[in-house]
Amino acid sequence: MQAILLAGGLGTRLRSVVSDRPKPMALIQEKPFMEYVTRELVRNGVTDIIFAVGYKGSMVEEHFKDGNAFGFRASYAYEETLLGTAGAIKNAGRYITEDCFFVLNADTFYQIDYTRLVRQQNEQKLDMALVLRRVPDVSRYGQAVLDENGILTGFNEKTEAARPGTINGGIYLMKRSLLDEIPEGKVSLENDRIPCWLLEGKRLGGFVNDGYFIDIGIPEAYFQFQKDVETGVVR
């Protein structure tokens, strides 16, 4: 299986504690955060990883090189300007050779059963399968909704009501054919492509996962992940 790791962001909210490197390369016990992410992918059967890189992206390539030392084959898709999530996927798409591929954010660590995502996509013939997660207050995010069969019926829905619900977890299994439907330039997957694909009747679905999740985009979360590694919550 192949995976695109989105690692092209500027990481401005983390600059106060990580200023010398891209956010996904922030050190956790002398290892870059992204190494924990790639090890999780390899453990789940991913053999090829395409790093979609921008700001100080050469640091990523200098660390992972061809990927052999980490158990995968590495490729690098550089962005000259910020392309957004869908634009970065489009840019990295030239390295995709399989019918389906994973996409995930390089600054988040989410423990899921990747085989379940593959199985659901195959059984329901989905154009895209994605992972949702439960939160105590969906008003802070855009709500994502699945029906009883696991088909996506709403995405990035704004609500002012403070109540529990499900939101996008940021892990996707995409059909290669969707690459042709992403325009060139700066495009958002979450705000543009997924809502459009829903309206167009594409088959999108997934499941809700309760596994460990963290986004190290802010200092508090970065320090929390350090603690979780030190105490064995994350291995």
In a domain, 8, yes or no: yes
Element (H, E) at 204: strand 204-208
In a domain, 235, yes or no: no
Give the predicted TM-score (pTM) of the model. 0.92
Cite the beta strand spans of 12-142 per DSSP E: 27-28, 31-32, 48-53, 73-78, 100-105, 108-110, 128-135
> CA–CA separation, 107 vs 7, rounded Å?
7
> In 3D, which of 209, 38, 3 has the Cα closest to residue 108?
38
> In 3D, which of 119, 121, 159, 112 has the Cα closest to residue 140?
159
In a domain, 190, yes or no: yes
**Number of structural domains in the chain:** 1
> CA–CA separation, 42 vs 48, rounded Å?
9
Residues 48/104/56/95 CA torsion (nearest 10 deg) = 40
* The pLDDT of residue 11 is above 80: no
Distances (CA, A) of 34 to 6, 8, 37, 78, 203: 10, 12, 5, 17, 31
Confidence label for 66 from pLDDT (cuts 50, 70 and 90) = very high
> CA–CA separation, 140 vs 37, rounded Å?
25
Element (H, E) at 6: strand 2-7
Mean pLDDT score, 34-50: 95
Confidence label for 51 from pLDDT (cuts 50, 70 and 90) = very high
Q: Return the CATH number at 109.
A: 3.90.550.10
In a domain, 168, yes or no: yes
- Host domain of residue 219: 2-230
Residues 79/214/124/2 CA torsion (nearest 10 deg) = 40
Confidence label for 159 from pLDDT (cuts 50, 70 and 90) = confident
pLDDT in tens, 111-126: 999 999 999 999 999 9
**pLDDT mean across residues, the chain:** 90
* The pLDDT of residue 189 is above 70: yes
pLDDT confidence of residue 20: 63
In a domain, 196, yes or no: yes
Distance of CA 156 to the CA centre of its chain: 16
In a domain, 23, yes or no: yes
